[in-house]
């Protein structure tokens, strides 16, 4: 039998598609291969038309091996693939033009040529990522106006992150802090700072396109655009930005496809000198479930950590917030709250809001008593009884003596003083029996404890300095 040997671009491409279809998931096939048109067959060069540059890049990155194999199977070893890329234009009068790119055929990332991508605008498609009009692009940056540098308190804990953020905000894309990665625990002000950068850019450079997006939202948008076949618009939207702020990138963990697409967008933005700002709850090196190539990008710029603010900074944050709300708090209340909530600024604020609510509802002034009774619900371990260990630690810290010494036989004056005060506090602030207290101090008997307590009481009555020591320690004991 004689078969017709004539091959057309369509027949060759259809044969390729048959093979490809069997080798990749149906959804991927639909997304990435169905929109392709076979255009030409010149000898052993097959030209296919793809709807955008992004499409081309994606195919080359993910399917180049498969494409090469199938093309060679159809056209022999000399078979080659070329792309014809449609570059859409905003103006209706201008027909889309196309540009040709060879397939690099070996999947080597570095070989790919980079050509500038005009923003794709297609007015007929209704989806959230299509940017209307080319001249003056307007995008809602999704920023919370309340997060500014003005109301971000600087402290040792956030100095590097804040000053790097400020530098970036003055010159987005123009510093070596690109990407700027802000990382640290929950409630330490990462989102606040990242948004402050966005707001500052908008204030100084209103024409810059800034977008704030949480990683979670980005992942959801990606899934939706896969479903709706709007991947191109999704990518073009983000690639058109001057500043992208991506919050909580640790949420990329395990989401490989979204990481892929972000990798793409990241590269595009970074290459064109656009600013990328990221936040994360861990340092890049500790981020699990993220692809190495994405992580290595995250390390390109500056990673700045946010620590737990110290007492002064916590107090300053509280005061600033209260001042902004027109509320004047007694210093001791501010100190009490800031002292007791010491690991998280968000909790600090939460406590303050509850305090205000209590005061308003009960028509009471905010004083230390109210703060204490209210904070009980807030502070973990409040119910925990004061332990003798804790008393010993506090007293020894106060007098700068080693804890071991108060448990030893030493009769050195300052050790005896620390030991006796500790016993006195143990008797008055714990429910422990005198005998048990003695046991905590190197196995002394109960009469020693009684004697210590009497001595301390006498000294409190007669020695002002001594009295102030004991009061100081007692205050710390109640606070902590
Ligand atoms: P994260 O994103 O790190 O979990 P947020 O940025 O949401 O934390 O901060 C939690 C709350 O604490 C926000 O209301 C924020 O305004 C406030 N906050 C954190 N750090 C500061 C700071 N240095 N100055 C003022 N407010 C702060
Ligand atoms: Mg946050």
253-272 tens-digit pLDDT:
888 889 999 999 999 999 99
Last residue of a domain, one of 102, 131, 150: 102
Residue 84 lies inside a defined structural domain of this protein: yes
Residue 122 lies inside a defined structural domain of this protein: no
If asked whether residues 236 and 359 sit together in one domain, one would say: no
If asked whether residues 167 and 302 sit together in one domain, one would say: yes
pLDDT confidence of residue 380: 55
Provide mean pLDDT across the span 283-287.
89
Q: What is the C-alpha end-to-end distance of the chain, expressed in Å?
A: 95
Q: Which ligand is nearest to the CA of 251?
A: 2
Q: What percent of the chain has a predicted confidence (pLDDT) above 90?
A: 55
Domain count, the chain: 4
Q: Flag whether pLDDT at 200 surpasses 90.
A: yes
The sign of the torsion formed by the CA atoms of 389, 395, 398, 404 equals: negative
If asked whether residues 396 and 296 sit together in one domain, one would say: no
| Pocket mutation for ligand 1, best pick of 345, 348, 351 (most atoms within 8 Å of C-beta) | 345
Mean pLDDT of the chain: 85
Q: Flag whether pLDDT at 88 surpasses 70.
A: no
Q: 163: CA distance to ligand 1 center in Å? A: 16
From 201, 221, 219, select the one nearest 210 (Cα to Cα): 201
Instruction: Check which CATH number belongs to the domain holding 423 and give it.
Output: 1.10.1750.10
- Write the residue with the smallest CA distance to atom 9 of ligand 1: 189
Provide mean pLDDT across the span 35-46.
91
If asked whether residues 264 and 168 sit together in one domain, one would say: yes
If asked whether residues 167 and 282 sit together in one domain, one would say: yes
As beta bridge partners, residue 101 has 83
pLDDT confidence of residue 424: 96
Q: Give residue 381's pLDDT band: very low, low, confident or very high (50, 70, 90).
A: very low
Last residue of a domain, one of 306, 336, 352: 306
pLDDT confidence of residue 97: 58
pLDDT confidence of residue 105: 55
Residue 131 lies inside a defined structural domain of this protein: no
Q: Flag whether pLDDT at 297 surpasses 50.
A: yes
Q: What percent of the chain has a predicted confidence (pLDDT) above 70?
A: 86
Instruction: Check which CATH number belongs to the domain holding 14 and give it.
Output: 3.30.300.180
Residue 266 lies inside a defined structural domain of this protein: yes
If asked whether residues 361 and 436 sit together in one domain, one would say: no
279 contacts 247 by C-beta, under 8 angstroms = yes
236 burial (CB, 10 Å; 0-12 / 13-18 / 19+) is: buried
275-280: strand order across its sheet: 210-214, 243-247, 275-280, 180-184, 302-306
Q: What is the DSSP letter of 174?
A: S
Provide mean pLDDT across the span 154-183.
95
Q: Give residue 195's pLDDT band: very low, low, confident or very high (50, 70, 90).
A: very high
pLDDT confidence of residue 112: 39
Residue 21 lies inside a defined structural domain of this protein: yes
Instruction: Check which CATH number belongs to the domain holding 320 and give it.
Output: 1.10.8.60
If asked whether residues 295 and 420 sit together in one domain, one would say: no
Q: 156: CA distance to ligand 2 center in Å? A: 20
Residue 74 lies inside a defined structural domain of this protein: yes
Q: What is the CA radius of gyration of the chain?
A: 33
Query: CA-to-CA distance for 28 and 31, rounded, in angstroms?
Result: 5
Domain of residue 253 covers: 159-306
pLDDT confidence of residue 120: 40
Query: CA-to-CA distance for 323 and 321, rounded, in angstroms?
Result: 5
If asked whether residues 46 and 20 sit together in one domain, one would say: yes
467 contacts 475 by C-beta, under 8 angstroms = no
If asked whether residues 172 and 299 sit together in one domain, one would say: yes
Q: Flag whether pLDDT at 124 surpasses 50.
A: no
For ligand 1, what atom is nearest to the CA of residue 146?
16
Residues with CB under 6 A from ligand 1: 151-153, 158, 186-192, 317, 345-346, 349
pTM score above 0.85: no
If asked whether residues 258 and 295 sit together in one domain, one would say: yes
Q: Flag whether pLDDT at 92 surpasses 70.
A: no
Instruction: Check which CATH number belongs to the domain holding 257 and give it.
Output: 3.40.50.300
pLDDT confidence of residue 156: 92
Q: 18: CA distance to ligand 1 center in Å? A: 54
Residue 118 lies inside a defined structural domain of this protein: no
Residue 164 lies inside a defined structural domain of this protein: yes
If asked whether residues 403 and 265 sit together in one domain, one would say: no
If asked whether residues 403 and 463 sit together in one domain, one would say: yes
Least confident of 44-58, 395-409, 424-438: 44-58
Last residue of a domain, one of 326, 352, 374: 374
C-beta atoms surrounding 37 within 10 Å = 14
233 contacts 120 by C-beta, under 8 angstroms = yes
Q: Which ligand is nearest to the CA of 350?
A: 1
pLDDT confidence of residue 189: 96
196-216 burial: b if 16+ Cβ within 10 Å, else e = bbbbbbbeebeebbbbbbbbe
């Amino acid at each position: 039998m004689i078969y017709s040997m004539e091959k057309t671009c369509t027949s060759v491409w259809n044969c390729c598609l048959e093979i490809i279809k069997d080798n990749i998931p149906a959804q991927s096939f639909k997304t990435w291969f169905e929109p392709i048109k076979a255009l030409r067959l010149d000898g052993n060069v097959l030209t296919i038309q793809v709807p955008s540059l992004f499409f081309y890049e994606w195919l080359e990155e993910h399917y180049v091996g498969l494409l090469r194999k199938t093309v060679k199977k159809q056209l022999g070893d000399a078979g080659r693939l070329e792309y014809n890329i449609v570059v859409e234009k905003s103006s209706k009068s201008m027909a889309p033009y196309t540009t040709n790119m060879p397939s690099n055929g070996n999947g080597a990332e570095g070989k790919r040529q980079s050509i500038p991508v005009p923003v794709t605008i297609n007015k007929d498609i209704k989806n959230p990522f299509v940017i209307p009009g080319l001249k003056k692009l307007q995008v809602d940056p999704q920023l919370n106006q309340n997060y500014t540098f003005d109301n971000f308190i600087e402290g040792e804990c956030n100095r590097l992150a804040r000053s790097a953020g400020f530098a970036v905000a003055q010159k987005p894309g123009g510093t070596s802090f690109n990407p700027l990665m802000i990382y640290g625990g929950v409630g330490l002000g990462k989102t606040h700072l990242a948004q402050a950068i966005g707001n500052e850019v908008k204030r100084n450079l209103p024409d810059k396109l800034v977008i704030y997006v949480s990683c979670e939202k980005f992942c959801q948008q990606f899934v939706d655009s896969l479903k709706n076949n709007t991947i191109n618009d999704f990518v073009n939207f983000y690639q058109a930005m001057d500043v992208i702020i991506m919050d909580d990138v640790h949420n990329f963990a395990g989401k490989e496809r979204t990481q892929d697409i972000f990798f793409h967008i990241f590269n595009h933005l970074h290459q064109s000198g656009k600013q990328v700002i990221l936040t994360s709850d861990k340092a890049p090196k500790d981020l699990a479930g993220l692809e190495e190539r994405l992580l290595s990008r995250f390390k390109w710029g500056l990673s700045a950590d946010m620590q737990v603010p110290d007492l002064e900074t916590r107090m300053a944050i509280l005061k600033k917030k209260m001042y902004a709300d027109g509320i004047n708090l007694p210093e001791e209340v501010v100190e009490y709250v800031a002292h007791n909530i010491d690991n998280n600024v968000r909790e600090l604020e939460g406590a303050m809001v509850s305090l205000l609510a209590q005061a308003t509802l009960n028509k009471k002034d905010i004083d230390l008593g109210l703060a204490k009774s209210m904070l009980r619900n807030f502070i973990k371990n409040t119910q925990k009884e004061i332990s003798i260990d804790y008393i010993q630690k506090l007293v020894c810290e106060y007098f700068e003596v080693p804890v071991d010494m108060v448990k030893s036989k030493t009769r050195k004056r300052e050790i005896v003083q620390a030991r006796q005060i500790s016993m006195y506090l143990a008797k008055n602030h714990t429910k422990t029996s005198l005998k048990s207290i003695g046991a905590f101090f190197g196995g002394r008997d109960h009469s020693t404890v009684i004697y210590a307590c009497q001595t301390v009481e006498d000294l409190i009555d007669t020695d002002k300095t001594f009295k102030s020591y004991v009061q100081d320690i007692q205050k710390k004991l109640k606070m902590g």
